[in-house]
């Protein structure tokens, strides 16, 4: 059974700092992995989608990497801004099912 | 492109009543829709998967008679919470995927249900 864990659970950083969010999963037979942002009381905003054959994806200040063999993905946020404050979720779609299993999330607060 | 909407965005109901939540794909045909539930300060948990024209497949522990899912068209799926109770209060989010979209799921904005 696929399990997805995110570390740290919460993170508070000063504005401008580069930071790394971690996601680990137990079953390496994945179809893809996706990082989402969720603002309080809101739905999900997709940030980056990495297919199982890819190693990383980049969008603006965001870079996500994937290491299937070790069951890990990282989301790198460069030059963090207060507007980046939100909960970041990673979700893994297991091969054959395409169902997403979500991690527990990292609550990020960027201080001005 | 690939926009998914949900209606209503929030709903408050009395215990024992039924509530219907709609999930629509606005600019693509959704062959598969997924329903998730998120309790406060917890992550999303998949409830069920529905394919257009077929019965939904429920995850273990989800009561299919309580959470009725209908996916009658390629752009609409509904989730009906029957005889709702306070413990059903949660944030319900749907997602949709369609042919030719690489099996990527596009998520709706969610519906917050509060049962008094």
State the 10-residue block means of pLDDT for chain A, 112 residues long.
Answer: 92 96 95 92 88 95 96 97 96 84 95 95
Tell me the two tokens of residue A30. Answer: 């994945």
Say if CB B25 and CB B6 are below 8 A apart.
Answer: no
pLDDT (0 to 100) of residue B39: 87
Task: Give the largest CA-CA distance in chain B.
Answer: 42
Q: Which of A90, A88, A93 is nearest to A77 (CA)?
A: A88
**Residues of chain B found within 8 Å of residue A36, distances taken between Cβ atoms:** 107
Contacts of B18 (CB under 8 A, 6+ apart): B80, B81, B82, B83, B84
pLDDT value of position A41: 80
Residue B1 has pLDDT above 70, yes or no: no
Answer whether B43 sits within 8 Å of A102, measured CB to CB. yes
Chain-centroid distance of CA B30 in Å reads 13
> Inter-chain contact A43–B109, Cβ cutoff 8 Å?
yes
Residue A52 neighbours by CB under 8 Å, 6+ apart: A30, A31, A32, A33, A66, A68, A95
Residue B101: band (very low, low, confident or very high) from pLDDT cuts 50, 70, 90? low
Chain B nearest C-alpha distance from A104 (Å): 5
Nearest chain B Cα to A49, which residue?
Answer: B104
Written as six digits, the tokens of B78 are: 């509904």
A103 close contact with B: CB closer than 8 A: yes
């Amino acid at each position: 059974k696929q399990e997805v864990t995110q570390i740290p659970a919460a993170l508070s950083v000063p504005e401008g700092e580069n930071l790394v969010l971690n996601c680990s999963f137990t079953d390496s037979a994945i179809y893809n992995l996706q990082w989402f942002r969720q603002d309080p009381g809101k739905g999900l905003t997709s940030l980056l989608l990495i297919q199982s054959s890819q190693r990383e994806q980049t969008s603006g200040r965001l870079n996500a990497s994937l290491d299937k063999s070790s069951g890990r993905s990282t989301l790198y946020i460069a030059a963090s801004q207060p507007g980046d404050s939100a909960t970041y979720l990673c979700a893994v779609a297991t091969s054959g099912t395409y169902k997403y299993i979500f991690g527990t999330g990292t609550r990020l607060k960027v201080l001005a | 492109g690939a926009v998914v909407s949900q209606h209503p965005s929030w709903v408050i109901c009395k215990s024992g009543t039924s509530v219907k939540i709609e999930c629509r794909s606005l600019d693509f045909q959704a062959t598969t829709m997924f329903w998730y539930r998120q309790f406060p300060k917890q992550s999303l948990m998949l409830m069920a998967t529905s394919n257009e024209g077929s019965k939904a497949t429920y995850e273990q522990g989800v009561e299919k008679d309580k959470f009725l899912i209908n996916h009658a068209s390629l752009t609409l799926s509904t989730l009906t919470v029957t005889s709702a109770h306070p413990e059903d209060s949660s944030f319900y989010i749907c997602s949709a995927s369609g042919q030719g979209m690489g099996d990527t799921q596009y998520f709706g904005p969610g519906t917050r249900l509060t049962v008094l």
